[in-house]
Structure 1
Amino acid sequence: MTAARPSILYVTDLGYEAKGRRYCDEDIRLSGCLREDFDIALCHPLDAARLMGSFDAVVVRNSGPVLHYQREYDAFRTLARQSGTRLYNPPTGRADMAGKQYLVELSAAGFPVIPTVDHGEDLGRLPRADEYVVKPKLGADSIGMEFVGRDRLGELGYGDVLVQPRIQFRYEVSFYFVDRDFQYALYAPRPERRWELERYEPGPGDLEFAQRFVDWNTLDHGIQRVDACRAPDGELLLVELEDLNPYLSLDLVAEGVRAAFVARMKASLRDFLGG
């Protein structure tokens, strides 16, 4: 480290308008908490590659869907790798930061995920449904997602998209982790209102479910959000494993939970930086 207080470039898009979420508020508050232990500078994701060489680490937070600036993001990751810059989360995640191909692989391996295929010849692996969800493999924030009937499945341009049955789930629930340690859970009791979240008390089976995916991802440092849905039969199924820049909904948790999360993140960053 180059200073008594480690320096962090905190990457965020304060102007990004996310449906049902206030990216800017969360990052202003979280970066303010981190400033108690680190020297912090905020920057837009398009400026990160140019600025990161002056900092001990780069923390990527609410930077918006990278597909809006994919070329610049790829160049940023390449430069960080070549220069040895520490990125948090590290760019070695196997889940959303690498695209959604992992959902196909986990489904084929028998993990509890929404059944997912990416080739027309594999459609027989999916349960029959009135509608199917088609998602771009590099999609985010529901961009490019559409619902289609079974009669349209043969028209899809396979290779760049995923296909899943549309499940009439009871609710969605998210589990939040720092490194591989569970912090809190929130759920959306009304499926049509994804970001109207409430406190969720997970049972032992719920935590085993979420921990399984976090352990599969093998990220020793960083923040992850396991998004799942409760199927009609009561089973939890993975919707996605967000390991790039998951929104944390910290404004919706109790003050003590928020303080514990910040403390755990600080400890993770100190360990990540080597002391």
Structure 2
Amino acid sequence: MKNILFVTDLYYKANGRNYYEEDFFITSKLRKDFKLVICNPKDMNTFTQDFDLTIFRNAGPVSNFPKEYNQFRESIKLHNLKTYNSFDGKGDMNGKDYLIELTNLGYPVINTIDSINNFDKLPKVSKYVIKPKDGADSIGMEFLNEDELYKKISKEDKNTLIQPAIDFEYEVSFYFIDKEFQYALYAPDKSKRWELKEYSATEEDLEFAMKFIEWNNINHGIQRIDACRNKTGELLLVELEDLNPYLSVLELSIELQNKFINSLKKSIKKVLECN
């Protein structure tokens, strides 16, 4: 039986979510097939080489442990560590610059810039959203009008993302293991982001989500494609979470939970069997 280091911060407090409950559930299922030890991200580098696989899960924002995270990334390369997710993604695991790249490539994403000098690339709206590039869980997010924006952000600032505030109908998330769709959840009340219900994804919805799965092209792991449905019915990408997406797995039916856990075990076993 293979040994797994399961990295998570059981004490991290997230708005509307209990990380520890989700990870206790997932580890209880994985223990039936693997030997597993739970580890805090600040301690992970002491142990990674002693395990067959490191699963990086609900560890919270990496800005809380940047030194350990950077060391972990270097250790993956230096010692050819097996990790889950694989660290070859282009999404959140590398920060938020991908939102700018996807904007420039013409993908269906909320238009994003990181310099007030490029403000003319954004549509004219009454409010704009700003947030730090290394932020998470809405930390540092503000809603400003154009005048406030120019007062708040200097022309030299390249560490703040700027987006138009979208008047959307609802937010919806699509969950994938490797490149296989697992389930979708949405927030029918947009003021309550984490009060989620199961969502029946259409073929068109999945075509939208797969554009970003294919673009990211990670070797293996769990990805969450967050989107919003605007007033004209179009889906726009909000976030491509490919590092440690919260899964809301406890909100699922038993049938979907079992499907997800079985897919996860299958994917992990495939990684462990690879040389």
Aligned: 1:141 with 2:137: yes
The Cα offsets for residues 12-63 of structure 1, whole Å up to 9 and x where unpaired, read as: 1111111111100110110110111111110111111001111001001111
- C-alpha separation in 1, matches of 2:77 and 2:41: 16
The CA distance in 1 between the partners of 2:145 and 2:116, in whole Å, is: 14
Query: Is residue 266 of structure 1 aligned with residue 262 of structure 2?
Result: no
- Residues 128-179 of structure 1: CA deviation (Å, up to 9, x unaligned): 1111001111111111111111012323143001110001100000000000
For residue 125 of structure 2, give the secondary structure of its aligned residue in structure 1.
coil
Structure-2 residue corresponding to 1:207: 206
Normalising by structure 1, we get a TM-score of 0.96
Instruction: Write the distance in 2 (CA, Å) between the matches of 1:177 and 1:7.
Output: 24
Q: Which residue of 19, 25, 29 corresponds with 2:25?
A: 29
2:114 and 2:160 in contact (8 A); partners too: yes
Tell me which of 13, 28, 37 is aligned to 1:17: 13
Match of 2:87 among 80, 86, 91: 91
In structure 1, give the amino acid aligned to 2:197: E
Matched residue type, 1:145: M
What is the distance in 2 between the residues matched to 1:262 and 1:233? 36
Q: CA deviation at 1:125?
A: 1.3
User: Could you tell me which amino acid in structure 1 is paired with residue 198 of structure 2?
Assistant: R
The answer to whether the 8 Å contact 2:173/2:224 transfers is yes
Q: Which amino acid aligns with 2:206?
A: L
Gaps of 5+ in 2: none
Distance 2:112 2:20 in 1: 33
Match of 2:175 in 1: 176
Aligned equivalent of 1:125: 121
1:120 to partner: Cα distance:
2.1
Identity fraction in percent: 48
CA contact (8 A) 2:93 2:242 kept: yes
Q: What's the counterpart of residue 226 of structure 2?
A: 227
Alignment of 1:104 onto 2:100: yes
Count of equivalent residues: 271
Residue 195 (structure 2) pairs with residue 196 (structure 1): yes
Matched with 1:254 is 253
How big is each residue's C-alpha offset from its partner over 1:205-226, in whole Å with a ceiling of 9 and x where there is no partner? 1000001101110112000000
Q: Is the 8 A contact 2:88 2:219 kept in 1?
A: no
Consecutive unaligned residues of structure 1, counting only runs of 5 or more, are none
Q: How many angstroms apart in 2 are the aligned matches of 1:137 and 1:101? A: 7
- CA distance in 1 between counterparts of 2:95 and 2:42 reads 20
For the 8 Å contact 1:8–1:38, the answer to whether it is kept is yes
Contact 1:225 1:246 in 2 (8 A): yes
The aligned counterpart of 2:44 is: 48
Compute the TM-score of the two structures, normalised by the length of structure 2. Answer: 0.96
Aligned to 1:7: 3
Query: Which residue of structure 2 aligns with residue 78 of structure 1?
Result: 74
Structure 1 position 151 matched with structure 2 position 147: yes
Q: Quote the Cα distance in structure 2 between the aligned partners of 1:88 and 1:36.
A: 18
Structure 2 letter corresponding to 1:92: D
